[in-house]
Amino acid sequence: MANVVVVGAQWGDEGKGKIVDWLSERADVIARFQGGHNAGHTLVIDGKVYKLSLLPSGIVRGGKLSVIGNGVVLDPWHLVMEIDKLRAQGVDITPENLMVAENAPLILPLHGELDRARESQNSVAKIGTTGRGIGPAYEDKVGRRAIRVADLADEATLALRVDRLMMHHDALRRGLGMEPIDRDALLAQLREIAPQVLPYAKPVWKVLTEARKSGKRILFEGAQGALLDIDFGTYPYVTSSNVIAGQAATGTGIGPGAIDFVLGIVKAYTTRVGEGPFPAELKDADGERLGERGHEFGTVTGRKRRCGWFDAVLVRQTCATSGMSGIALTKLDVLDGFETLKICVGYDLDGVRLDYLPTAADQQARCTPVYEEMEGWSESTAGARSWAQLPGAAVKYVRRIEELIGCPVALLSTSPERDDTILVTDPFED
């Protein structure tokens, strides 16, 4: 039985939620391996809309085990809120179908406060953080002062962890003109939330190892997109964790040999939320049309997304860094009705043609796109469930994308509905 990693191949918002939900029907275990509650998934199932930001997408399906791995930074208050919200929509969530890694670091209120204070006072260049404390929580993790899920079970350990955290954060807060941390209030908040979180705490690495040995199919789910990876993204306008497929192993405690298929989710055009370079961005009527037709607003933030033509250079790059076996191409229907489509096939940097995005930020900013034009189509692709239902020009567009990125299309999505999907290769049967 194959185990599959799903990663976003652009700047996020590629439609991972629908694809993970579609694949979860074939999986036994769905595991989140990085990020926090700063990235959202919107699922549409039988006309019912579910908005998730921390819980794995598989939680809305009965008979599946959902796992939050150690690579995730966990806001325990948000976790409880999201569980309550889904329960109100009729989703059954118990410690039998949801597990949280004991060694997952916590996001505390002080992390969000620090995140927002830094962003508001940064007059040099705003990163575009969501202000939810993700970055500061990861900083504390690597600084070895994080409070982890397991620490909630022991008051003495918890108090020591809070004291260590305060030594660092109070100094930062003074420098930003903030009030010091209220130790007693923080400990009281943690004691109150602990019994609501601890029932879900498990040694996730052990659970997944046993699941694999017993022949269970595991689906590893990432958040954001590979171009926001802390190492391989458009630094510093990135997230605070590794997003590429290799993180699935370290973010859950299962060896890399357990990964059989890497599926990259790719939007048929390109979008980005927030700051940072975007060579193929459109600031004209075509860009507005893509945004309106694609409903390009962030699930979590509500921020309007920047839109542009498909950038084959960037996707080819992320296919390489994640070792993608195939892609799921989404939102093809948004391109219906364009007379002419463009694909970015290279960059011009000061008169030099590049086939990759350079690392240096100043060079990224100076890259201008080199486009290839293709004929569009007037017919609708919305809801297509076979190649025969697609216009010939749409098939040519998809095939050209495959050629340019050097990776085959495994799935093709033509609407938010999970069944409006053309299956070329089943990742679990590859």
Q: What is the domain partition of the chain in residue ranges?
A: 4-101+201-262, 109-198, 265-423
β 270-272/326-330 pair status: unpaired
pTM of the model: 0.92
Least confident range from 39-53, 99-113, 217-231: namely 39-53
3-state secondary structure labels for all residues of 256-277 = HHHCCEEEEEEECCEEECCCCC
CA–CA separation, 49 vs 80, rounded Å?
19
Given a cut of 90, whether residue 42 has pLDDT beyond it is no
β 409-413/306-308 pair status: unpaired
For domain 4-101+201-262, say whether CATH 3.40.440.10 is its number: yes
Copy the structure tokens of residue 11: 């700047």
Given a cut of 60, whether residue 166 has pLDDT beyond it is yes
Instruction: Work out the burial of residue 78: count CB atoms within 10 Å of its CB; fewer than 13 is exposed, 13-18 middle, 19 or more buried.
Output: middle
Q: Among 1.10.1740.10, 3.90.170.10, 3.30.300.90, 3.30.360.10, what is the CATH number of 265-423?
A: 3.90.170.10
> According to the annotation, is 415 in a ligand binding site?
yes
| Biggest alpha carbon–alpha carbon distance for the chain | 67
Indicate the angle between helix axes 109-121 and 134-142, nearest 10 degrees: 110
Looking at residue 46, its pLDDT comes to: 75
Given a cut of 70, whether residue 124 has pLDDT beyond it is no
Between 364 and 419, residue with greater pLDDT: 364
Place of tokens 């486009």: 371
CA–CA separation, 251 vs 56, rounded Å?
14
Closest residue by Cα to residue 328 from 429, 413, 218: 413
> According to the annotation, is 40 in a ligand binding site?
yes
| Three-point CA angle 246, 112, 253, nearest 5° | 25
User: What value does the mean pLDDT take over residues 290-311?
Assistant: 85
> According to the annotation, is 318 in a ligand binding site?
no
Given a cut of 70, whether residue 100 has pLDDT beyond it is yes
Least confident range from 111-120, 297-306, 372-381: namely 297-306
> According to the annotation, is 41 in a ligand binding site?
yes
Chain Cα centroid distance, residue 341: 27
Q: What is the mean pLDDT of the chain?
A: 93
At 58, the pLDDT band (50, 70, 90 cuts) reads confident
Write the CB contacts of 282 (distance below 8 Å, at least 6 apart in sequence): 290, 307, 308, 309
Of the ranges 36-40, 404-408, 425-429, which is most confident?
404-408
The CB-side HSE value for 138 (13 A sphere, CA atoms) comes to: 15
Please give the CATH architecture assigned to the domain spanning 109-198: Orthogonal Bundle (1.10)
Chain Cα centroid distance, residue 13: 7
Which residues belong to the active site?
Answer: 13, 41, 141
Q: How many other β-carbons are positioned within 10 Å of the β-carbon of residue 47?
A: 6
> According to the annotation, is 51 in a ligand binding site?
no
